Chain A
Amino acid sequence: MKFYRNLTIKQKQIVWAWGFLALPVLFYSVIRFYPTGNAMLISFQDWNLLGSRTWAGWDNYTKLWHDPVFWKVFANTFIYLLLGTPISLVISFVIAYNLDKLRFMHGFLRMLYFLPFMTSAVAMAWVWRWFYQPVPIGLFNNVLASLGIPQIEFLRSTTNALPSVLAPAVWAGLGFQIIIFMAGLRAIPRSYYEAARIDGVSTWTVLFEITIPLLKPTIVFIVVFSSIGFLRIFDHVFNMTTQDPGGPLNATKPLVLMIYDTAFTGFDMGYAAAQTVVLFLILLLVSLIQLRILRDR
């Protein structure tokens, strides 16, 4: 204690700061940085968990390049992104924009839209899976049948399955995006709208010349945030296709599911690690490109 007492105030601060950070620094080193390096290392090795780890060089990556399943999965992952992000962006904006203009039971309506965000993806994937079943089980097809409309094969068709799996993911995320949009709308100064009204500008012009340009930071945030979510989609796909994960015929399989299968069903750790590195690079690139494009405009 004598040593501590002789320190200057500044030096004491340093001692305290590092004392506070000791455990967290250990945590981030062991649970975040070491595994990151390890994943990259394993991606250059050949290892099935039981046998020995052997150096494989770029083998896992060339194998991935020539793997038709990977390209199918790669395409699926981007379809999730390219459908999911714009659709949820437009829907959540339209709802937030209109909800912002209402007073009557405002809080109640907002609650209805936000509620799905509080649900668990696994539970809701099973609910939607039930909705999609053929007659006489599934709700959607029962409703269609009662209206005399032909059945739709949702999860069993290779073309319909992916949008069907995507729908609950979009649905669950809307509430969050609506709330963020509404906060963005509130931040636009009233005086801009007043001025536009005095000038007699039409509602559409106000929307496209004032509201949307001023919402740009909010839009950038939502686009980047939801893109990362759709690129990492897993829970919904896995639970809606448990009898044949990613099926039918890999029609719904996203990259994270391929990683899970390769690592924990096939125990091909090197190959799976290579896929995780590719996922990492995709996430990095997509976020950087979006930030670039949306910032510049």
Chain B
Amino acid sequence: MAIVEAIRPTTDALMKTSAPKKPANLGQILRWLLLFAGGIAMIMPIAYMISTSLKWPHEVYNVNLIPREPTLENYTYVLEDGRFYMWFWNSIIIATITTVSNIFFDSLVGYTLCKFRFPGRYIIFIAILSTLMIPTEMLVIPWYLMSQQFGWLDTHWGIMFPGLMTAFGTFLMKQFFETVPDDFIEAARIDGLNELQIWWTVAMPLVKPALAALAIFVFLGNWTAFIWPLIVTNSTEMYTLPVGLSTFGDEADVAWELIMTGAAISTIPTLVVFLIFQRYIIQGVVMAGLKG
């Protein structure tokens, strides 16, 4: 694709600004101030969510951002009944297993399509590519019927089976395996490694940045996934965080400080991960966005 070619060299340079070094003038200062104000506005919903989760009920309707007497009472209350622990755990299990599965299978398929010549290669390629055009929403009804038939409703397996492999991840990985020189693979073959060993020990380490990008996308996607877990689960113990939070929000009614606490519990982990791995995540998003 043209866009891939156009942007390829810049993903690594993205971390540095390309703006020329110029003495600050009024225009630049104004531009900075406006963008700063905009940036602060962007994080206001997140800031208010966290701030309200630290407020006592009587202070919730106050618009001040800094709680007058910050308290962790809401967290104790919300965590005490144990449901958030279960939902958190369910989300962790599902997002982790799905990520591992995608890392393994998407790169295996991408590698095979990229580096092997065999009859049927083109058909497989087109078939997997065509699934990108099928929206999840079209598949939820058949998936539901399938789950009902096989007893997968309300199980972890039921929540995660549709996402174990993705066409998006497969193409992302295929694009990156193109950058692995065939000579490396030939050399490994001459050294007597079998194909599985070549893929795992030679090719995979060379595409680590892509694997990281894929892992971020798959994990975040499953951590925040809503419609399918909502459909396939029906007992409180099986809910994922988004589904649990949705029902909790209805139940808490006007206790907004508790709802904000629940929202914070499901958001803070991804924010912390982002702040630690910012550099890799932004690079990964650009790579995945442009190559997938």
Contact = CB atoms under 8 A, between A and B. Distances in A.
A179 B3 CA distance: 14
Given A24-B165, A119-B270, A183-B11, 14 more contacts: A18-B120, A21-B109, A28-B128, A33-B131, A95-B35, A118-B273, A124-B263, A131-B48, A137-B60, A137-B254, A142-B61, A179-B282, A235-B227, A276-B137
Nearest to B241: A120
- The winner among B13, B32, B278 for most chain A CB atoms within 10 A is B32
- The winner among A17, A95, A121 for most chain B CB atoms within 10 A is A17
B202 to A, nearest CB: 14
A114 B282 CA distance: 9
A17 B137 contact: no
Contacts of A74: none
A186 B14 CA distance: 8
Given A102-B31, A119-B267, A136-B61, A16 B141 contact: no
**Interface magnitude class on chain B:** 35 or more
Given A36-B138, A110-B282, A127 B270 contact: no
The interface residues of chain B, by DSSP majority, are classed as helix
The interface residues of chain A, by DSSP majority, are classed as helix
Contacts of A126: 245, 249, 259-260, 262-263
Interface in A174-227: 174-176, 179-180, 182-184, 186-187, 190, 217-218, 220-221, 225
**Interface magnitude class on chain A:** 35 or more
A61 interface: no
6 contacts: A16-B116, A102-B32, A123-B263, A235-B226, A263-B141, A269-B141
B220 interface: yes
A280 B262 CA distance: 34
Contact of B285 (A31, A131, A176): A176
A98 interface: yes
Contact of A259 (B2, B137, B278, B289): B137
A190 B279 CA distance: 24
A174 to B, nearest CB: 7
Nearest to B3: A217
B10 interface: yes
Interface in B1-56: 1-3, 6-7, 9-11, 13-15, 17-19, 21, 24, 28, 31-32, 34-36, 38-40, 42-43, 45-46, 48-49, 52
